[in-house]
Amino acid sequence: MAYLEQTDYLTLDGFIPVSTAYGIAHDNGKTAMETPHPTLNSKAELLAQAIINRLVALTQSKEVA
């Protein structure tokens, strides 16, 4: 992580671990937040919210400029 802080790369809170439950959810037309496992759903939700927060911040900064 220390290296990434020295670059122009952006990191977000959260991650989606490798899990067959995500693949099964996708195969059934569901999102990563719709697995039968609450802990996996929470991880996907955290990342999705981080993406939304970043998009809102970018949109607001462009509206001001």
Q: Does pLDDT of 64 surpass 70?
A: no
Write down the number of H helices and E strands in the chain. 3, 0
User: Which distant-in-sequence residues (6+ apart) come within 8 Å of 62 by Cβ?
Assistant: none
pLDDT bucket at 4, cuts 50 / 70 / 90 = confident
Per-residue pLDDT reduced to its tens digit, 22-59: 999 999 999 999 999 999 999 999 999 999 999 999 99
Q: Does pLDDT of 11 surpass 60?
A: yes
* Residue 1, pLDDT score: 64
